[in-house]
Chain A
């Protein structure tokens, strides 16, 4: 007897329908799963067998063959446990009438087209949570499959998708009873709009950082224009602390953006239980020992990398000089395109990767070069080598250089109120909206994405500004490379002030975010 049951696989962040075909025939008892499943899929045999038995159902002692179609795409993970079990029961139901607790053959009826199943099975029949359910739900909706049967632990993310019935199950016996009509499962729904409208809470706030007005201002500009930054400062200056708070001043995610971020996290298995939607911008801070594949994505069974996990958020690379050169090189393309494309035998997988890049490093290997009261014990060659990794293409992507110094708290009298993230965000949002309006139809969303030709058009300078820039080139030793950077940043500063044209003070401030250190200066002038 043959049965066909729908499930879902993941290709990149998209789901695709897997048809789980089960054939049960006479012959020497066997249980084979074909269709390029990985080890977890192959091990499903044991879990399915035990789950079915421990639910009080009979496991057919026959020749069982499971095919996972399409047969030439690699299948992975444990999500196929549930559909395989259902498939077996469906196929066997017709031959084991009496022995089965389920009464009458055709007990499942022809439900193949209307249902999609996914879930991992425990040996006792429990259905355990899996990855990528949101993408599966979107796939089901797209393909017109009305009912989605998924583990109870994943019900919230599935319920975000409208137009399908989400049927959460805790135990395999629940779905069996539902399918036989014995006890229907109630569809699970949530008020997505309400959840989305609710105030997004970031645990970290800018007001928790004392002093560092300079760095805060720089990050405000970076947030407003989506500019990537390099923070240079000694250990303990507060680079990481402030960088972590950057997401709290970024404009809130739109619903579509939130959906995409949730999808990616769901696929990576990073969606916390009970979270239907991720509304906060992700902050990813991989350790410098990370491999290129983990950073950009890929691997034998492709998974999203850190850069995709930071999609619509912030990718913070601390101690940039300690990263492997090849790893950094791998970042170049995705940073440019806003997505990472991984080629495989059967096609290409694309993960989105539009992120704001924040790099941090020390002023020199020992960390003391910028502290006037400490001794820097580095030789010039050591400093040169230290910075050699961040030269070239990666540095070209950096628009702003921020000098972070530890400021002694005693020197600051806390007489002025410290701004909250929310207030800063308001200004950032206004500036971003100006940019969206300006660049409508130009395929870009922020000043940081301006190409040289567009800079001509959108960053016009008056004579006063041009004179200033000329002077800056002479006195401060700037070069053509930094010309575009300075203009983009000046444009953002003007937007923050809601001014249409770039004025002298905008340009003057933008010039403060150039690099001044000896060696790095040579590299980035």
Chain B
């Protein structure tokens, strides 16, 4: 019955099939093959990535839960834990933008409350093709509406995120969603099944035929037939999830549960197997007891369905009635579908007859692990070559310098204000948001304490494409720096690794190098990785995306009222630049936007200097010595200073900096000083009488610091070596920056 064609449809190789037969001591039946195929899929087994992920730093005194559970957790004092994770929903979002993004949000929220934490904030990291391209606005609108539709309804604020537009994502957008929750240490609960005879309950939405093979879909490349896979995308129901969230948190407080897990990728299969495996037990269920939305569903379909908003839980013996009563209150029905056994098997019955019987370890610990070959890709050497004097802009050099270049950069969608997007997200519900979206890292206070948590997601695929290791380090550094710029001490990180097909040695090399970079940066900056997700096969018609590790960092502010944001606050304040500009244009937004060129090497990074910088900012903020802080990233110093002037009712700045010499062409040297993207730089503003103290503290920390100007007036003026290079009204600059994205949607409905 099982032939080569069937194996191919399941994404199972012949070698893997032989291993399956070895584990079972016989040939699998179709249900068992389906179970193996999803558990051994890249998405669930991490078979290509595991050998590399093992090298990441995952421990630290603050870490309460590292990778391997539904989400990671770090200690934030007062007996509380921050529970957080990032996950991708790239493939479903390309096929059906609204539902794909919505169910991505639903999935990551479940991961957080499954740990016993109350979800309190969401972020997202999105990548699309150029906004000018015909299909992009539809995708952007769908994804944004999907995130909004789910997050707004369930009542968890989306407090920030990032969006970038690059041609490499045109056929494969990225939708990475991050959720943060808070729990008492003692309330953290794991996804384990143990205690022979304990009841296994199913609760939530009924099981339908939707999403069958979602996990295998997420492990395959796209081609023109991808639209045919639409039935594998699920439909989200945020109201059902809100009920589940409240009911599960209420049940968890009773101490009547052994463990709980959501049914995400690979649904019932993954949750039963993983819970049994973690608890060193077995789980036996009868699929005929599973609530079903459709008639005539086979065990295969029930086990592989990815219907949303479903949970699996194990109750303590004698406490079943209590559990059932709480779910009834929320009009949910907890149904006993099986029990915990001691034989380490996943046993599936249908009306009492065994239809699948597989050792848990075969599906989890002993799933295949591949150390795939990797070699430096051919493109790299050429892409890293950059002769700044040989640059030729597509339409001449008119825009290469002066106000014109700044205008162009401010209106480029990757840099422009994302207000059009985040005003569609409820970013204030739960009344904790103390740094609104667009102000830097999102910051939420913790009610009942003086504290707050800052959170940021960052990543620059262009940098990683040009140098995977350095690019990944820069992503970690930027996320942690953004958190520090809010005044928070970075505590932990989560990563979402979006790459192409790992079976290509060049892609695998990008992956291996990026993981190496993440590991080194996380170690140096003191932010262990507590979990995350890998998304491979991000390719369409054989063309891979830029390798894009997205890093989420969570940090702690001891005093919420000491929070710092991007914008200047008072006229007459002194502006200080921490860090050094070296005029690095490699991989910059400037080169891409003005010269249509993606080349060179990304900026250098000294991780020890970065750590000193971050510690300095956190201490300056905690003592209320600074009034604003903003890191320099896309578009360099000039764009950073312009952004500090925005949302201030037009407050200007008078800046004077030293030039750099990176080319013979004077205009390129000017651009390097203004738009070079050297890392580890932060623009601060402070009252004049605080400046001496700031400079002394910087000197003591070994962080380069210099006064570069003053706030005030209504113009942004930047002089380089005494020559005025930028002189424009803040109002005009802000208009360009704030209307750029919206203008792409103006001609559409409303």
A and B form one complex: no
Question: What is A's interface to B at a CB cutoff of 8 Å?
Answer: none
Question: What is B's interface to A at a CB cutoff of 8 Å?
Answer: none
